[in-house]
Structure 1
Amino acid sequence: MDLRLAAYAVCIEEGRALLARAVRPDGGKTWTLPGGRVEHAEDPFDAVIREVAEETGLEAVVERLLGVDSRVVPAAERRLPGRPALQNVGIFYEVRITGGRLRPEPNGHTAEPAWTPLPDVPGLSRSSLLDIGLALARTAPATGHVAPVPVGGLIEH
């Protein structure tokens, strides 16, 4: 089984969430939160700030830790044929934007970042990570954990 440690930013301002439209390995696109893999020896706190800057062009500061999500993506559901199952451990932070200018990631996997009205999110083709992050921000559970989000329909791994 592959293991991926990732840090994700949840930024909600004026009823809108900062989202990133990721380009999947198969060429499709899906909406998700800004964030991604924690590099070797990198602190997840630093990784989330780096990822926001890379994927959106915006400068962010961490306001608080929201929680941690661990999910297993079965090998048959991965978009990379021939790869084993993946355990993704995601650390979610609430962030605040302090500067920069919204732009796509140069030479990266983010086609477009966008401020999206929260009522529009359920109608988007999106990663389950987006729903997890928004649920953590909305409910602020003391445990830092919310129930798994089932995939299917507009929600994918």
Structure 2
Amino acid sequence: MHFTEYDTRLAAYAVLVNEADEILLTWFNGGDGGRPSWSLPGGGVEYDEAVEDAVVREAYEETGYDVELGQLLAIDHHTAPAGGPFARPYRSQRLLFHARVVGGRLGTTEVGGTTDFARWVPLADFPLRERTADIVELAVRRLR
């Protein structure tokens, strides 16, 4: 299929692990039609925004932390056909970056967004009982 025949969403995420071997997760409230679940700090890259800038911005909005990016941890994509939640065929391209906290304090700063709160979760607790986005499972697998 030619790229003009489907819609693409570019998204980027921060994977933050602290000294206590906990990963920072965000609670996605399902506000855009999805199912509530744990996710990673991050999201859609704006049209005029560098991928790295998007990760830093999204991490701050969703966690209250200023972050510094490290190396790319993973690249992932998935597709969906037309007729479900999307009018046209859809491709999601996702990039996950190692990151570290360099300032700020825990607390969601976005207003009216899709993230309700953030929490450090021990990596030893995986898999979680609560619904967890596949992007989190990918990050945990790569960290192990």
Aligned length: 135
Give the match for residue 100 of structure 1: 104
Specify the alignment match of 2:50 in structure 1: 43
Is structure 2 residue 126 aligned with structure 1 residue 132?
A: no
The C-alpha deviation readout for 1:58-108, integer Å capped at 9, x for no partner, is 1100121112111113446x6x4x533321100110000111111123221
Q: 1:143 is matched with which residue? A: none
Question: SS where residue 87 of structure 2 aligns?
Answer: coil
Q: Which amino acid aligns with 2:40?
A: L
Distance 1:71 1:61 in 2: 27
Report SS of the residue matched to 1:93.
Answer: strand
Cα deviation 1:86-144 (Å, max 9, x = unaligned): 21100110000111111123221101111111122312301111111222333xxxxxx
In 2, Cα distance between equivalents of 1:73 and 1:137: 27
| Paired letter, 1:101 | R
Measure the CA separation in 1 of the matches of 2:52 and 2:73: 12
Matched-pair contact (CA < 8 Å) for 1:94–1:137? no
SS at match of 2:126: helix
1:29, CA displacement in angstroms?
1.5
Structure 1 position 27, deviation (Å): 7.2
Normalising to structure 2: TM-score of the pair?
A: 0.84
* RMSD (Å) for aligned C-alpha atoms: 1.8
Name 2:90's counterpart in structure 1: 86
**Structure-2 separation of matches of 1:101 and 1:22:** 19
**Where in structure 2 are there 5+ consecutive unaligned residues?**
1-5
Instruction: Give the aligned residue type for 1:110.
Output: T
Large movers: runs of 4+ above 6 Å: none
Is the CA contact 1:8–1:35 (under 8 Å) kept in the aligned structure 2? Answer: yes
Q: TM-score, normalised by structure 1?
A: 0.77
Structure 1 unaligned segments of length 5 or more: list them. Answer: 139-157
User: Following TM superposition, by how much is the alpha carbon of 1:34 offset from its aligned partner in structure 2, in angstroms?
Assistant: 0.6
Identity %: 35
1: CA distance, partners of 2:34 / 2:13: 22
Residue equivalent to 2:120: 115
